[in-house]
Structure 1
Amino acid sequence: MAAATATACPVVGTTNDVLPPNHPEVDLAKGGQTCPIVGATTDHHHNLHKHPSVGIDNSNSSHVATECPALKNVVNEPKSRAMDDEVCPVIGPATTVLPPDHPDTAAAKEGDICPITKATVAHHKNKVHTHPNVQGAAEGAVCPVAGVRA
């Protein structure tokens, strides 16, 4: 579950700092590793923690974040509601608003894959939204979605 002091990921907007219970083994203290699932690197994710053991078979792919009762509660917290969070089956709670510098997805085809997070257009169609326009925002302005300073 995301801690009260967790900050939003600048790429996908998640405040969740716990890896899913079926996540591949990774040494979080070692930099330069890349997640085979979402492409995140350990260089930028030193705040992550392993999920407590829940006695599931790691080979069972039906165990997804949307089934976690703790994460369903997290997205109903005021900060999560303000960020328009939903539970992604892969990364847990994340904002449904794309980052302001995200390429336009209007021309994306069903099979296209995000080069950064490996998310598929098919999985995210009609589930993510364009970020409000922040052009001309003053230095130090607060993001209207994540609530973080620029």
Structure 2
Amino acid sequence: MATCPVIGTTNSVLPPNHPEVDLNVDGQTCPVVGATTDHHHNLDKHPNIPGLNSTEATSCPALKSAVKEPKAQELDDAVCPVVGTATTVLPPDHPDVLKAGPEDVCPVTRATVGHHKNNVVTHPSVEGAAKDAVCPVSGQGH
């Protein structure tokens, strides 16, 4: 399971009620999260679940257990009802969300500030880290 470099999600499965989309056709953009098919050829559609009305990823028993895995806990993952499992840690170079209003929307992920208040934390600065330093939690290099 790969980690998205933008939102940190490890989920690559679209929800059962996701509209049909040909992921092999580049240039399409999701109106909800702003993702483009150019960068998302790795997605799969979840099998249909008759009678399911919820769009919440938390309804999935497989996702519930995935979030409880030690590695997920170590990465401070949570379940987002839109994108599935996602990191709650903003990258070190993320703009200060305290300077934004609750109605402001992220131009990259389309997330609203008010909706994510108290659900995300800013990653500590890595300015003092060595050039080849590696994060002890995610294993990603600096």
Contact 2:17 2:48 in 1 (8 A): no
Question: Compared with structure 1, are the counterparts of its residues 33 and 56 closer, same or farther at alpha carbon in structure 2 (3 Å cutoff)?
Answer: farther
Take 2:140 and 2:14, find their aligned partners in 1: how far apart are those partners?
Answer: 23
Question: Compared with structure 1, are the counterparts of its residues 86 and 65 closer, same or farther at alpha carbon in structure 2 (3 Å cutoff)?
Answer: same
Can you list the C-alpha shifts for 1:94-124, whole angstroms capped at 9, x where unaligned? 0100122211101111111111111111210
SS in structure 2 of the partner of residue 43 of structure 1: helix
For 1:1-150, list aligned pairs within 5 A.
6-56=1-51, 60=53, 62-150=54-142
Structure with the bigger percentage of helix: 2
C-alpha RMSD of matched pairs (Å): 1.8
TM-score normalised according to structure 1 size: 0.85
Structure with the bigger percentage of strand: 2
Q: What stretches of structure 2 of length at least 5 have no aligned partner? A: none
After TM superposition, what 4+ stretches of structure 1 lie above 2 angstroms from structure 2?
136-150
Contact 1:12 1:99 in 2 (8 A): no
Take 1:112 and 1:71, find their aligned partners in 2: how far apart are those partners?
Answer: 29
Q: What stretches of structure 1 of length at least 5 have no aligned partner? A: 1-5
Take 1:25 and 1:145, find their aligned partners in 2: how far apart are those partners?
Answer: 36
Take 1:143 and 1:25, find their aligned partners in 2: how far apart are those partners?
Answer: 38
SS in structure 2 of the partner of residue 11 of structure 1: coil
| CA displacement at 1:21 relative to structure 2 | 1.3
Take 1:147 and 1:56, find their aligned partners in 2: how far apart are those partners?
Answer: 41
Can you list the C-alpha shifts for 1:51-84, whole angstroms capped at 9, x where unaligned? 1121246xx4x33112222211111112211110
Seq. identity, %: 66
Take 2:125 and 2:82, find their aligned partners in 1: how far apart are those partners?
Answer: 28
- Counterpart AA for 1:87: V
- Counterpart AA for 2:35: A
